[in-house]
Amino acid sequence: MLTLEKFEEASELVKEVTTPTKLVYSEFYSENTGGKVYLKPENMQYTGSYKVRGAYYKISQMTASEREKGLITASAGNHAQGVAYAAKKYGLKAVIVMPTITPLIKVNRTKSYGAEVVLHGDVYDDACAYAKQMAAESGMTFVHPFDDLDVACGQGSIAMEIVKELPTVDYIIVPIGGGGLSSGVATLAKMLNPKIKTIGVEPAGAASMTAAFKAEGPVTLESANTIADGTAVKCIGENIFPYAKENIDMLVTVEDDELVTAFLDMVENHKMIAENSGLLSVAALKQLDLKDKKAVCVISGGNMDVITMSSVVQHGLIQRDRIFSVSVLLPDKPGELVRVAQTVANAKGNVIRLDHNQFVSINRNASVELRITMEAFGTEHKLEIMKALSDEGLKPKEIRVQF
């Protein structure tokens, strides 16, 4: 059972392994929503996410015999680091099964805490099945990343900290993967103040909690296709579902493109790196009416590898028309390239790439293709540049940006 006494115990115990994550007031999100929006930056934890809370409290509740057998778990990355770090604190052996697509930074950091890492399967569910098989064969103690009440209790300690720091909070907005974080936070929030509304946010491509609410119980999705790899879960937990169903007031789904935009917003306005799953809470703000309300967005993790980060930034800049490409056809004669470059410069565009293709037409005197990739300040500026090119008689055609 999730009881107030257990939540209070967990809230004290997790202080041994967590960094205080004080609320950060967001002028940017407050202005955009009409409310007062605060961030709970769990991405600033030593392990890069909130997961160490549940792992540490779970181990504290184990018997000596269960600990001696060693721990085994499955994770897309953050729970892996949480279990590995918590096990290190207790001096226990830990084996972590991770999906093969797990970002390298999460794999390496998990190993750095002394855990053995096994890569298996394409998504969390594949890794979990394999971890359970290994647990049965080895006798090691399996630590579920979300479908465990002790784990959920540890995660719920976040709500205790939020309410202590902001007693008048109206909404707590939480990302959902398997449901351990959302069920723990929502349950404790209601115990502390029944008036607090809890909102769970899922990636649209892996909305397993939404499916469970509709079916009145956990169901397995056909796929979990999302850039939010930490929440790519096909089926939420059976043990935590009753608590989620009773205490989560609203569910929201977010498209991957919205997470890309949220990443840029967070970097530009808060100078903060959060992984795609951790950004679900802020990405959902556009769908909520928070006027004159106080809301806390849980930023659940920040473990993003540099390659993924680079890709997200590039796609975000393209989405915002900060980078775009056009194709123009020119006569193959001296001075034409200069004419195009000068037109772009006069419109205050910044060329970052040129591709000059003389072989687009057999008749080179008729036309050669020039592909221009450039920077702009946004959509309005892009349209100004396009108009300047058109006024010069160049007939620009927007094309897909290629890096």
pLDDT at position 367 is 78
Residues 233 and 180 both lie in one domain = yes
**b/e sequence 12-22, b meaning 16+ C-beta within 10 Å:** ebbeebbeebe
Residues 246 and 393 both lie in one domain = no
Domain count, the chain: 3
- 34 DSSP assignment: S
Separation of alpha carbons 56 and 280, rounded Å:
25
Residues 64 and 80 both lie in one domain = yes
Output Rg (C-alpha) for the chain, integer angstroms: 25
Residues 183 and 290 both lie in one domain = yes
Instruction: Please work out, in degrees rounded to the nearest 5, the angle formed at the alpha carbon of residue 278 by the alpha carbons of 276 and 282.
Output: 95
**Listed residues 267, 296, 316: the one ending a domain:** 316
Residues 301 and 329 both lie in one domain = no
**Listed residues 286, 316, 346: the one ending a domain:** 316
pLDDT at position 102 is 81
Residues 190 and 338 both lie in one domain = no
Task: Please tell me whether residue 166 adopts helix, strand or coil conformation.
Answer: coil
Residues 62 and 95 both lie in one domain = yes
pLDDT at position 277 is 95
Q: Which residue type is seen at 300?
A: S
Per-residue pLDDT of the chain (403 residues; tens, 9 = 90+): 899 999 999 999 999 999 999 999 999 999 999 999 999 999 999 999 999 999 999 999 999 999 999 999 998 778 889 999 999 999 999 999 998 988 787 888 899 999 999 999 987 778 889 999 999 999 999 999 999 999 999 999 999 999 999 999 999 999 999 999 999 999 999 999 999 999 999 999 999 999 999 999 999 999 889 999 889 888 999 999 999 999 999 999 999 999 999 999 999 999 999 999 999 999 999 999 999 999 999 999 998 888 888 889 989 999 999 999 999 988 888 888 899 999 999 999 999 998 887 776 666 566 788 899 999 999 999 999 999 999 999 899 999 887 6
- 266 DSSP assignment: H
Residues 278 and 225 both lie in one domain = yes
Separation of alpha carbons 309 and 297, rounded Å:
21
Separation of alpha carbons 209 and 179, rounded Å:
7
Residues 329 and 278 both lie in one domain = no
Residues 71 and 22 both lie in one domain = no
Encoding tokens for residue 71? Answer: 């721990």
pLDDT at position 117 is 95
Beta strands in 231-279 (DSSP E): 250-254
CATH number at residue 168: 3.40.50.1100
Residues 331 and 390 both lie in one domain = yes
Domain interval for residue 36: 4-48+149-316
pLDDT at position 142 is 94
Separation of alpha carbons 349 and 129, rounded Å:
53
pLDDT at position 271 is 94
pLDDT at position 369 is 87
pLDDT at position 191 is 97
